[in-house]
Each structure stands twice: as C-alpha cells, then as structure tokens.
Amino acid sequence: MKRAPVWLFDLDDTLHDASHAAFGPIAEAMTVYIERELALTRPEAEALRRHYWDRYGATLLGLMRHHGVRAAHFLHDTHRLPGLEHRLRASAHDLAALERLPGRRFILTNAPRAYAERVLAALGMTRLFHGVIPIERMTMFGDLRPKPDARMLRSIAVMLKVPPSRCILVEDTLAHQKSARRVGMKTVWMQRWMRRAGSPAPVSAGLPARPRRCRRPTYVCARIRSLQALSRSAW
C-alpha cells in the first residue's frame, strides 16, 4: 500500500503573492534596522543588506556572523509589517486544493513564526496545515541553518519521522529545490507569481528580482502555476 506523502510548503510567493504584500516593507525594515543598529548611512545599509543576501542567501546570516546581531531581535523588528493582513488574499479554489491533498502538510519557511502565522491566518489557511517550521527551528549544533541547507532539510525529515523520499517540497526558489532533491525529496516548482520571459523587471526594494519562468531543471520533479495542479498529479 502506497503511503501518503508529507508536504513541505514554502510560504512567500508559493502560497501568496509576497512580492506584492510583504517583500517591499520587509526590505525597507531590514535597511532601517541595519542603518540604526550598525550606525551606517542609508546607502551603506542598503549595500550591506544586498551583499549579505547575495553571499549567504539571507541577510540575517551575514549580520549574525559579522556583527553579532541576535536573530530574535532582527526577526521581530523587521517583520512587524503594519497593515499586512489587508494586503493578503486567498481564493476558495486554493483552500479547497490544499484540503484535498493526501497526507500531512507543513509550512517550511525562512520567515519567523509570528509572521508565518499571521499570513496563514489572514489567508484562512491555518487549519489546513499540521504545523509550521519557521526559521527559528532551522538550527543545527547551535547554528542557524535556513533553506537551502541540505543538512537541515535532512533533519526535517528525521524530525517528521519519514524518509526524505516521502517528502514533497513545494517552492518558488530553485536553490532550495536543488538541495531538497539532493537529499532525496521530491520537488515542485511553483511558478504562479513569476515573470514571463521578456516581461519587464518589476521595481524592487532591493530584494532579489522575481525570477522568470524558464525550462524545468532536472532536479525539479514538476512545475505548476496553481495549487489545483497538485491534486492532479500522482504522488
């Protein structure tokens, strides 16, 4: 008898349009935080935020390693986001598609728990997930190891008491999927909010530009443009 999969869903730009609802204010809050805490000018803070994102995949990691910034303080300060709930919407079709999926469903996000829970509540999705695995829980040997750290992904499967082959990671970020596939997980690339090839790049607040749709890499098991497509695949 085939066992039900364990679904690991990213949150931002996978379950909602974060580039519209959250990324701009988060980027602004991070720059203000760096400017204030490190006593830098605004251009210096902006450049440092971008540099650490490019080098480590997360601005927070660079601030922790080089400036002794405490993760909890940074995450709380940069994810307050007044008015966030008013910018979030989910369709009844999305909710129904998630509810139809067999097996357990978890949120696996590099965002803090408080933010993830706010987003899920505003989208009406809280009841559809069996748990949230936020960045605070992505630690190994005392070090923060957010996605795409392969060792952390392997430890998530251990924590959930399933082999990695039973896990399906649904993500918009290819680097995270590449690591997940390397440890044996199945991968689904959400392209719902990606730019089409040839479309102009959006004006950003300094976060990585929303990627364009492109050919499916070999480490991606499937690519989708809606949650409804998940229930039409044989997992």
- Does residue 208 register a pLDDT over 60? no
State the pLDDT at residue 231: 80
The mean per-residue pLDDT over the stretch 25-52 comes to 97
- Does residue 163 register a pLDDT over 80? yes
In this predicted model, what pLDDT tens digit does every residue of 92-127 receive, in sequence order? 999 999 999 999 999 999 999 999 999 999 999 999
What would the 3-class secondary structure string for the chain be? CCCCCEEEECCECCCECHHHHCHHHHHHHHHHHHHHHCCCCHHHHHHHHHHHHHHHCCHHHHHHHHHCCCHHHHHHHHCCCCCHHHHCCCCHHHHHHHHHCCCEEEEECCCCHHHHHHHHHHHCCHHHCCEEECHHHCEECCEECCCCCHHHHHHHHHHCCCCHHHEEEEECCHHHHHHHHHCCCEEEEECCCCECCCCCCCCCCCCCCCCECCCCCCCCCEEECCHHHHHHCCC
